[in-house]
């Protein structure tokens, strides 16, 4: 089949070529898969955004019946109403104006500020009855959805995102509004099926995270898990490694599962602990350790469930990989870095991981 890079542009096609070792046919398959994943995510964004604005509007109407005093000074609403009134075929009804407001409008009502804190306290918290109960937590979740939705809408590469994780974050937000809506969305979403058909596996199949030895590594050693804010994105990988104190530790646990708990609270931890499901119990152990060691209740986290250090699933070396460079900004990993497991198992030091 004839396909021209000029249809896409060289710059846009470049990351797909790089991911496929310059195999153009395979890169086209990956590019097409990327579009399919984006389309599937957009369907989920569609349902979530409608659910979100209806839930928020239901609460706003209770505090501010349709005279809308809360929105008279908001340019976005005024502009939407103006466009409706100027059209010969459109009616400037409350429902029609609401339907034209962007996700950014609803996100702004959750942003920091004294007026939004008051709005949250008086009514908007009721739009998210199953949430951690704090405005910042809900704002972060909606902001993450907004960023990824815009990325999909602008046809950007999703190779640095794991669609399965992003779906779990979205489903968690939906559950905060209505658990039944999550069940419905799970029954119709196609992200999971399409994500599993990726035509080429990532060459860099290990993520090395910048870790504190007395926090992240200690958590791994105690409960075989890694926890970070839900807002961090990860490319699809099979293994995880830890960088700290100028070295990469000589063990790379396999990622068994990734979970985005709906709530991060002592009550949720106890409920998961009582579950008969092994994944729930593993998450409960990670949550219990996290709550006791600085991962605050009320925030949204993602939990990487890992193989134990003595598991045959964990890759091992005889010694750490030392990083010998010094000076400001010389850390080998600041946040995270992706590498192939073959290189990590063979390297003598980090110079062997970066090449000449």
Q: What is the dihedral of CA 6, 8, 11, 13, to 10 degrees?
A: -110
Contact indicator for 312, 322 with CB cutoff of 8 Å:
no
- Please tell me the predicted confidence (pLDDT) of residue 326: 80
| Final residue of a structural domain among 195, 225, 249 | 195
- Please tell me the predicted confidence (pLDDT) of residue 156: 87
SS3 of 139-151 = HHHHHHHHHHHHH
- Please tell me the predicted confidence (pLDDT) of residue 180: 98
Tell me the residue ranges of DSSP E strands in the chain. 206-210, 225-229, 239-244, 247-248, 251-252, 255-259, 301-306, 315-316, 321-322, 336-339
In this predicted structure, the answer to whether residue 71 has a pLDDT above a threshold of 60 is: no
Q: What residues make up the domain containing 80?
A: 5-195
- Please tell me the predicted confidence (pLDDT) of residue 211: 78
Q: Quick one: what percent of the chain has pLDDT higher than 70? A: 88
Question: Does residue 260 share a domain with residue 288?
Answer: yes
Question: Does residue 303 share a domain with residue 170?
Answer: no
Question: Does residue 285 share a domain with residue 161?
Answer: no
| Final residue of a structural domain among 147, 173, 195 | 195
Task: Give how many domains the chain has, as a whole number.
Answer: 2
Whole-number average pLDDT of the chain: 88
Residue 307 lies in a domain: yes
Question: Does residue 220 share a domain with residue 292?
Answer: yes
Question: Does residue 232 share a domain with residue 256?
Answer: yes
Name the token pair of 167.
Answer: 């779906």
| Final residue of a structural domain among 162, 195, 228 | 195
- Please tell me the predicted confidence (pLDDT) of residue 76: 57
Name the token pair of 98.
Answer: 């609401």
Determine the straight-line distance between the first and last CA of the chain, rounded to whole angstroms: 38
Residue 173 lies in a domain: yes
Residue 244 lies in a domain: yes
Residue 233 lies in a domain: yes
Q: What is the mean pLDDT of residues 334-352?
A: 93
Model confidence pLDDT, tens digit, residues 294-307:
888 888 899 999 99
pTM of the model: 0.86
What does the alpha-carbon distance between residue 325 and residue 259 come to, in Å, rounded to a whole number? 36
Residue 47 lies in a domain: yes
- Pick the closest to residue 27 from 60, 4, 48 (CA basis): 4
Q: What is the mean pLDDT of residues 317-345?
A: 90
Question: Does residue 271 share a domain with residue 171?
Answer: no
Task: Name the pLDDT band for 335 (thresholds 50, 70, 90).
Answer: confident
- Burial class (CB within 10 angstroms; exposed 0-12, middle 13-18, buried 19+) of 225: buried
Question: Does residue 148 share a domain with residue 250?
Answer: no
Q: What is the mean pLDDT of residues 63-69?
A: 50
Residue 201 lies in a domain: no
CA distances from 108 to 38, 131, 198, 298 (A): 25, 18, 35, 20
Pick the range with the lowest mean pLDDT from 69-73, 138-142, 294-298, 319-323: 69-73
Question: Does residue 349 share a domain with residue 236?
Answer: yes
Residue 200 lies in a domain: no
- Please tell me the predicted confidence (pLDDT) of residue 95: 61
In this predicted structure, the answer to whether residue 89 has a pLDDT above a threshold of 60 is: no
In this predicted structure, the answer to whether residue 69 has a pLDDT above a threshold of 70 is: no
């Amino acid at each position: 089949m004839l396909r021209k890079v000029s249809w896409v542009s060289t710059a846009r096609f470049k990351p797909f070529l790089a991911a496929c070792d310059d195999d153009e046919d395979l890169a086209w398959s990956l590019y097409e898969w990327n579009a399919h994943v984006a389309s599937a995510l957009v369907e989920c964004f569609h349902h979530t955004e409608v659910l979100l604005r209806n839930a928020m509007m239901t609460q706003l109407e209770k505090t501010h019946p349709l005279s809308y005093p809360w929105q008279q000074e908001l340019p976005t609403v005024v502009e939407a109403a103006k466009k409706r009134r100027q059209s010969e075929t459109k009616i400037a009804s409350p429902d029609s104006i609401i339907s034209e407001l962007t996700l950014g409008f609803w996100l702004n009502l959750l942003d920091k500020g004294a007026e939004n804190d008051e709005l949250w306290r008086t009514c908007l918290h009721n739009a998210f009855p199953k949430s951690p109960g704090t405005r910042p937590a809900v704002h972060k979740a909606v902001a993450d959805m907004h960023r990824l939705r815009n990325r999909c809408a602008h046809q950007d590469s999703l190779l640095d995102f794991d669609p399965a994780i992003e779906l779990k974050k979205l489903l968690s937000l939906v559950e905060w509004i209505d658990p039944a809506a999550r069940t419905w969305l799970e029954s119709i979403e196609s992200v999971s099926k399409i994500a599993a058909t990726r035509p080429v596996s990532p060459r860099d199949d290990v993520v090395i995270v910048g870790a504190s030895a007395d926090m992240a590594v200690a958590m791994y050693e105690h409960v075989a898990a890694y926890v970070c804010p839900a807002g961090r994105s990860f490319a699809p990988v099979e293994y995880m490694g830890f960088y700290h104190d100028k070295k990469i530790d000589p063990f790379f646990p396999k990622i068994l599962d990734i979970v985005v708990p709906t709530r991060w609270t002592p009550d949720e931890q106890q409920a998961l602990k009582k579950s008969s499901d092994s994944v729930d119990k593993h998450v409960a152990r990670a949550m219990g350790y996290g709550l006791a060691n600085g991962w605050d209740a009320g925030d949204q986290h993602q939990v990487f469930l890992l193989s134990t250090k003595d598991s045959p699933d964990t890759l091992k070396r005889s010694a750490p990989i030392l990083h010998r460079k010094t000076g400001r900004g010389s850390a080998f990993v600041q946040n995270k870095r992706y590498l192939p497991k073959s290189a990590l198992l063979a390297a003598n030091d980090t110079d062997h991981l970066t090449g000449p």
